[in-house]
Amino acid sequence: MWESNQKTLNSEISFSGIGLHSGVNVDVTLIPANSNSGITFKRTDLEKNNEIIANFKNVSSAKLCTKIENDFGASVSTIEHLMAAFYICGVDNLVVNLNGPEVPIMDGSAKDFVKIIKNCGLKTLEGKRKFIKIKKKVELKEDDKSININPTTNNFEVKFTLNYKKSPLIQNQKNSTNFQKKNLEEIYVARTFCLYEDIEAIKSIGLAKGGSLDNAVVVQGNKILNEGGLRSKKEFVNHKILDLAGDFMLSGARVIGSVECIHGGHALTNEFLKKIFSDKNNYDIVENESSSSKVRKILPIHKRLAVNA
Ligand SMILES: [Zn+2]
């Protein structure tokens, strides 16, 4: 059930780790923030113009990870698993200070982020949460990939089909998740993955410099190269659901709707968010009335979407 008030962290909390694509060690501090301020990343290694608002309009690259950038060229990569942890834990407002260009990959999932946030605890703020309630079906197709969203009463559902013809082990995995479920552990512990034969190609374009079996599931033929194997049978598709939730957190508010995605990824999700918000007839901005299923239409103002809430 959605809670009606916005939340932030109880207190500041710090952690550090290596960036998957940059290979650089980064220190991160999560700092509580006020109602209606949303999620902002701040590059403390840069002297000025170092704030980047976590919004889909600021995505500058969605190749293998989601990268956001401000008008002055300051950027942060691989934000999606941290954003998914904010989604899952119910964080609305926060400043993310970091002294490098990429959020640490940790173990390749959102497990450590969720643990850090749960250990710290949340503080309820006075501001009411705003939701983006989908009013009609929107869809986007690109080659063999597709994504659509349909209206629902008061929840966010994701149905994902992975169509990985190149791997006999992954092939066609399907799963669906309702994000109002109490326990989303199978989603937030699901690690990022790659095929062994793709690693050289990914590294040759300057990505995955910090990649290892400690932060990604690596598949070779019918084998998982990681000791201990998979965390769940559907870990691959569960990770794609995690990525999608993290990217949807860039909407500026939680979305009420049912998403179905076939073989998509960060780039398709970003194009889809642009399509949804290009037409005000696709959605309403609503407030939840004390966690009942009734929602009240408040702000059909597209501009408000620039701020997370
Ligand atoms: Zn991911």
Which pLDDT does position 305 carry in this prediction? 40
Q: Say if CB 52 and CB 58 are below 8 A apart.
A: yes
Q: Say if CB 91 and CB 63 are below 8 A apart.
A: no
Q: What confidence tens digit (pLDDT) does each residue in 183-225 have?
A: 999 999 999 998 888 887 777 777 677 778 888 999 998 899 9
Whole-angstrom Cα Rg for the chain: 18
Which pLDDT does position 168 carry in this prediction? 86
- C-alpha 57 to ligand 1 mean position (Å): 19
Contacts of 33 (CB under 8 A, 6+ apart): 8, 40, 93, 94, 95
Backbone angles phi and psi of 158, in degrees to 5: -130, 125
- C-alpha 246 to ligand 1 mean position (Å): 9
- C-alpha 193 to ligand 1 mean position (Å): 8
Q: Please, which residues have CB less than 5 A from ligand 1, an ion?
A: 192, 243
* DSSP assignment string, 26-82: EEEEEEE--TT--EEEEETTSSSS-EEE--GGGEEE-SSS-EEE-TTS-EEB--HHH
- Angle (CA) 124 125 128, round 5°: 110
pLDDT per position in the chain (309 positions), as tens?
A: 578 899 999 999 999 999 988 888 999 999 999 999 999 999 999 999 999 999 999 999 888 789 999 999 999 999 999 999 999 999 999 999 999 999 999 999 999 999 999 999 999 999 999 999 999 999 999 999 999 999 998 899 999 999 888 888 888 899 999 998 879 999 999 999 988 888 877 777 776 777 788 889 999 988 999 999 999 999 999 999 999 999 999 999 999 999 999 999 999 999 999 999 999 999 999 986 444 444 555 544 333 343 333
State the Cα–Cα distance between residues 149 and 256, nearest whole angstrom: 10
Which pLDDT does position 194 carry in this prediction? 87
- C-alpha 127 to ligand 1 mean position (Å): 31
State the Cα–Cα distance between residues 84 and 104, nearest whole angstrom: 14
- Length of the chain (residues): 309
Tell me the two tokens of residue 255: 């979305």
Is 266 noted as a catalytic residue in this protein? Answer: yes
- C-alpha 245 to ligand 1 mean position (Å): 10
Give the closest residue to 5 by CA, choosing from 212, 259, 254, 211: 254
- C-alpha 65 to ligand 1 mean position (Å): 7
Q: Say if CB 260 and CB 252 are below 8 A apart.
A: no
Question: Across-strand partners of 61?
Answer: 67
Q: What confidence tens digit (pLDDT) does each residue in 148-178 have?
A: 999 998 899 999 999 888 888 888 899 999 9
Give the closest residue to 148 by CA, choosing from 162, 160, 165: 160
- C-alpha 80 to ligand 1 mean position (Å): 7
